Amino acid sequence: MQIHALMTGTVSLKHAFLFPDSGPRRQLGLFLPGPFSEPMPIHCWAVEHEGRLLLIDSGESAAVRDIAFAHFHVTREQELPGAFAAAGLALDDVSEVVLTHHHGDHVDGLVHVQAPVLINDVEQRHAASVSSRAMRRLLRQPLPRGFAPQTFTLDDRPFGAFARSPPLSDDGRIVAVPTPGHTPGHISVICIDDSGRHVMLAGDATDTLEQLHALRADAVGPDPKVHVQTLERILAHCAQHPTVYLPSHDIQSAARLADATIVSAAANQPARHSPDPHPAAAVAVS
Ligand SMILES: [Zn+2]
Ligand SMILES: [Zn+2]
């Protein structure tokens, strides 16, 4: 198995998005003036396995408009075709696309892909809801032309700390797991690499590893409690399996993939590097 970090430009996020107040100001702060972060990557991921090439999310496009809490920096050259060329991959080889959720910085690159596109059925229903459609109109963030992914259902097969998990590969080494919070039907994709590590392509489950350890819900999710429960579950999974945790916008995600950095399973503790050739033994956390 080979996992490639692709990058389709960057986004600067308002502090009120990354570090929201609690209570009624949680979402209000998104629309008030305030400072922005340094540019953070807009990653998507290509996974070569069993003769297939899975694309997890499709990145952003240069046509994206800034919104009140996110400023995008994407050139035509940084869109999916350029990102594929930089990785030495061919877009025509993509066998299918799996979406973590329906936000533009994860789906706008679909215009470059011919392969079938899969999305969790809960997320697709959410994307089609009146409130989501109104928000997209308000923020001038339309779904890409022809957006019509096939839906899949999370079944009752447990996987690690997750109660449900449809496999995405015949050998079960690539699975989708539910990580609701940022959106109601958000999923993450876990790939068991050749060393047995669980490489978690986490989409926007959090924006950073720091947010995971802080157990902090973001400002846009509809229910912060659901979001925090998901973060606790991800950490519980990290306690069971050596996990490389890769949010789409974490400035450290590409380095953690390259270095196979295993995350600590404890809340509010910094990540650590694991040079141990037997990573399963390196995460003996009870
Ligand atoms: Zn998102
Ligand atoms: Zn995103």
Burial class from Cβ neighbours inside 10 Å (0-12, 13-18, 19+) for residue 180 reads buried
pLDDT of residue 265: 87
How far apart are the CA of 169 and the centre of ligand 2, in A?
25
How far apart are the CA of 279 and the centre of ligand 2, in A?
29
Tokens of 282: 């390196």
Q: In angstroms, how far is CA 38 from the centroid of its own chain?
A: 19
Least confident of 17-31, 70-84, 150-164, 270-284: 270-284
Please give the average per-residue pLDDT across 178-194, as a whole number. 97
pLDDT of residue 270: 46
* Whether the predicted pLDDT of 276 surpasses 60: no
Element at 16 (helix H, strand E):
helix 15-18
pLDDT of residue 125: 96
pLDDT of residue 111: 96
pLDDT of residue 268: 81
What letter would DSSP give residue 262? P
* Whether the predicted pLDDT of 58 surpasses 80: yes
pLDDT of residue 22: 81
Residues 41 and 19: their CA atoms lie apart, in Å, by: 18
Q: How confident is the model at residue 281 (pLDDT cuts 50, 70, 90)?
A: very low
Q: How confident is the model at residue 23 (pLDDT cuts 50, 70, 90)?
A: confident
* Whether the predicted pLDDT of 280 surpasses 60: no
pLDDT of residue 29: 86
pLDDT of residue 33: 92
Higher pLDDT, 118 or 285: 118
Tokens of 41: 């990557």
- Look at residue 76 and give its three-state secondary structure: helix
How far apart are the CA of 104 and the centre of ligand 2, in A?
8
Of 251, 227, 183, nearest to 7 by C-alpha is 251
Q: How confident is the model at residue 272 (pLDDT cuts 50, 70, 90)?
A: very low
DSSP strand E in 103-247: where? 117-120, 150-152, 174-178, 187-192, 198-203, 243-247
Q: Which residues contact 135 (CB under 8 A, 6 or more apart)?
A: 141
The answer to whether residues 244 and 208 touch, using CB atoms and an 8 Å cutoff, is no
Neighbours of 128 (CB within 10 A): 11
How far apart are the CA of 177 and the centre of ligand 2, in A?
17
Please give the average per-residue pLDDT across 70-74, as a whole number. 97
Q: pLDDT tens, 209-234?
A: 999 999 999 999 999 999 999 999 99
Percent of the chain whose pLDDT exceeds 90: 81
Over the chain, what is the mean pLDDT?
92
Strands 198-203 and 187-192: antiparallel
How far apart are the CA of 277 and the centre of ligand 1, in A?
34
Q: Which residues pair with residue 119 across a beta bridge?
A: 151
| Cα–Cα distance list, 206 to 33, 216, 220, 284 (Å) | 23, 8, 11, 24
pLDDT of residue 282: 33
Give the ligand at the shortest distance from the Cα of 8.
Answer: 2
How far apart are the CA of 104 and the centre of ligand 1, in A?
8
Percent of the chain whose pLDDT exceeds 70: 94
Residues 273 and 266: their CA atoms lie apart, in Å, by: 15
Q: How confident is the model at residue 92 (pLDDT cuts 50, 70, 90)?
A: very high
How far apart are the CA of 170 and the centre of ligand 1, in A?
28
**pTM, two decimal places:** 0.91
Q: pLDDT tens, 234-271?
A: 999 999 999 999 999 999 999 999 999 999 988 884 44
How far apart are the CA of 196 and the centre of ligand 2, in A?
27
* Whether the predicted pLDDT of 274 surpasses 60: no
pLDDT of residue 114: 95
How far apart are the CA of 217 and the centre of ligand 2, in A?
14
How far apart are the CA of 60 and the centre of ligand 2, in A?
9
